[in-house]
Amino acid sequence: MDLSILQQTLQIAEKYIAADQTDPVVPHRQPAEWLADFDLPISQEGMPEEAFMQLLENVTMATNKTASTAFFNQLYGGRNMVAVAAEIISVITNVSLYTYKVGGLQILIEKEVIAQMLKKVGFENGEGAFAPGGSLTNLVAMAVARNEKSQTIKNMGHDGRKYIVYSAEGHYSITKNAGLLGIGRSNVKKINSDSMGRMDPEKLRKQIQTDLQQGLRPLIVVSTAGTTVMGAFDQFEEVDKIAKEFDLWHHVDGALGGSALLSERYKALMKGCHLADSVSWNAHKLMGVPLTASVVMFKEKGMMKKHISERAEYLFQSDDEDLNPGIGSIQCGRHNDALKVWAMWKWLGHEGYEKRINHIFDLTKYAAEKVKSDPSMRLILEPQCVTLCFQVLEKSSIEICNYLNQHGMAKVGYGESKGETFIRAAFPNHNLTEQDIDRFLEMVKLAGEKI
C-alpha cells in the first residue's frame, strides 16, 4: 500500500509539472471559493485511499506554480530535478541531523556543503550551520553577536543597557529578530542608503557617534548582500572598518546575494565579506534548491558552541563534538537540508553552478535593457542582482500586479523605495530565457493598457 501511494504521488507530481507549461499560473481565488470547492475539514472517519488520492491531486493542482516561467513574485523559483530527488531522499530517510549516531554519512555531507560555503566566503577557520531560512540564520547570527558583545546576557538575562542594531535596506527579519532577542525593535536604526540602495558608511559612522554620546551601546551592524527589493550590495569593506573602529559585530545578510560567490564574474559584489564576523546565505534562493536551505557562517570557530550549546545527555551521547552539529544549533530535530544542496552542487560542479548564476544575473541585465529601450517604461535603478525594479509610465504598478495575478497571467509583486512604488520582478529561476522575459514585459504592458 505504501509504495502504491508513492507511485500515485509521483503521477500527481508529473501532472503538476506538466501543467507548468499549460497553466503556468493558478488564478487568485478568495478563501471562501477554495473552501467551497475543497473538502478540507478533518473528520472522525477518515477517507478511503482512492478518494483521498484524488483529493491530494486536486489540492496539488490548485497550488501555485513557483517553478513556472510566469512566477516572478519571490526571490526563489524554478525546479531542479536533482535537488528535488535529493529532497525526496531526505524525506524518505528522515534522519535528523543533530548527531552522527543518527545522521551518519549525511552529517559528513552537511559538513562538505558548509566547508565549500566557508571557502567561498573566505572564512579560513570558520564554522557554520544550516537553519530553516534566512530569517532564522540571521536570528542565530544576531543571537551569537548579542551574547558575544554583552558577555552577560546569555546566562544572566538582559543587563539594562540600550543595545543598538544598524542596517540600511535590511530585511524585515532584522527588526523582528531584534524584538525576539530583547534588543527591541525600536533600537534598530535605519541608515540612509545612497542612490544605488547601498548603506552610506559615513552616515553609519555619524549615527554610531551620536548614539555613543547619548550613552547607548552600539551592538551590531547588519549589511546586506542583495537587498530584498532593489538587490543592492552594501560596501562590506567600508562598513567593516567602522564596525571594528567602534567594536560592533558585523553580520552580512547574504540570503539573496551570497550566491554571487559562485561566479567569477559577479563575486566582486561580495568583496570584503570575509572581514565580517558572520554571513548568512540561502541556497534556496539563487542556488535554485527547494525550500528551505540556509546557512549561517561564523569567522571564528567555536562561536556556536560558546553561545548556543546546551547539555542534553539523552541526545549527545557519543562521538566527537564536531560530528554532532546539534550542539551548535538552535534546533533539536533538524531536517536534512544539506543533501539537496550537495546533490545539485556535486552534479553541476563549480563550473556548472557558475554558468547558472551568470545566466540569471545576465538575464536581469537583459530585462533592464529592454525596459530602458521602451519609451512606455521606466527603469528605477540598474539591477545589481536578480530583481528588476521598473514602472509603466502613468500607470499604477500596484494595479498592474493585481491585474496580472487576478487574470492568471503572472505572479509579480511591487516594491517601494524613497516614496516611489514600482513593479519588482525577480528572476531567480535558472530556467528562464530571454523569450520569457520578453513575454513577461509584454504582459505587463498589456495589463497597463487594461487597467
Q: Is the peptide bond before 227 cis (omega within 30 degrees of 0)?
A: no
Residue with cell 553580520: 251
Piece in contact with ligand PLP (CB under 6 A), picked from 130-138, 143-151, 351-359, 411-419: 130-138
Q: Shortest gap between Cβ of 361 and ligand PLP (angstroms)? A: 16
**Smaller CB separation from ligand PLP, 222 or 447:** 222
Residue 444: what are its φ and ψ, rounded to 5°?
-60, -45
Among 134, 290, 325, 383, binds ligand PLP (CB under 6 A): 134
Cβ nearer to ligand PLP, comparing 383 with 448: 383
Q: Per CB under 6 A, which region of 25-33, 106-114, 131-139, 372-380 contacts ligand PLP?
A: 131-139
Residue 294 interacts with ligand PLP (CB under 6 A): yes or no: yes
Go through 247-270 and write b for each residue having 16 or more CB atoms within 10 A of its CB, e for each that does not.
ebbbbbbbbbbbbbbbbeebbebb
Q: Is 135 in the site for ligand PLP (CB under 6 A)?
A: yes
Residue 224 near ligand PLP by CB under 6 A: yes
Tell me which stretch binds ligand PLP (CB under 6 A): 51-59, 156-164, 248-256, 412-420. Answer: 248-256
Told to check if 331 binds ligand PLP by CB under 6 A, we report no
425 binding ligand PLP? (CB under 6 A): no
- Shortest Å, Cβ 437 to ligand PLP: 21
- Closest-by-Cβ residue to ligand PLP is 134
What cell numbers appear for 221 in the block? 551592524
Q: Which of 213, 232, 210 is nearest to 223 (CA)?
A: 232
Shortest approach of ligand PLP to residue 57 CB, angstroms? 28
Contact window for ligand PLP (CB under 6 A) among 82-90, 132-140, 324-332, 380-388: 132-140
Distance in Å, CB of 146 to ligand PLP, minimum: 18
The distance of closest approach from Cβ of residue 286 to ligand PLP in the complex, given in angstroms and rounded to an integer, is 11
Does 131 bind ligand PLP (CB under 6 A)? Our answer is no
Residue 444 found at the interface with ligand PLP (CB under 6 A) = no
**Residue with smaller CB distance to ligand PLP, 84 or 255:** 255
Figure out which of the listed residues 79, 171, 189, 251 binds ligand PLP, where binding follows CB under 6 A.
171
Comparison of 172 and 314: residue with beta carbon closer to ligand PLP? 172
Question: How does DSSP assign 87-131, residue by residue?
Answer: HHHHHHH---TT-HHHHTHHHHHHHHHHHHHHHHHT-TT-EEEEE
- For ligand PLP, the closer CB: 228 or 397: 228
- Residue 221's beta-bridge partner residues? 166, 250
Residue with cell 489540492: 59
Name beta bridge partners: 129: 296
Segment near ligand PLP (CB under 6 A), from 34-42, 94-102, 133-141, 266-274?
133-141
Q: Give me the least distance between CB of 22 and ligand PLP, in Å please.
A: 29
- Least distance to ligand PLP, CB of residue 225, Å: 8
CA 363 to chain centre: 20
Tally of CB atoms within 10 A around 351: 8
258 near ligand PLP (CB under 6 A): no
The residues, any chain, with a CB within 8 Å of residue 70's CB and separated by 6 or more, are 24, 25, 409, 410, 411, 440
SS3 state at 5: helix
Whether residue 420 contacts residue 390, with contact meaning beta carbons closer than 8 Å, is answered with: no
> Which three cell numbers mark 287?
542556488
Long-range own/partner contacts, residues 37-40 (CB < 8 A, 24 or more apart): 38/62
Give the 3-state secondary structure of residue 304.
helix
Cβ atoms of 224 and 168 closer than 8 Å: yes
Which range of residues in 122-130, 152-160, 251-259, 386-394 is near ligand PLP by CB under 6 A? Answer: 251-259
Three-state DSSP at 166 gives strand
| Binding residue for ligand PLP, selected from 68, 173, 259, 429, defined by CB under 6 A | 173
Could you tell me how many helices (H) and strands (E) the chain has, helices first? 15, 11
- Binding site residues, ligand PLP, CB under 6 A: 75, 133-135, 138, 171, 173, 224, 226, 228, 253, 255-256, 282, 294
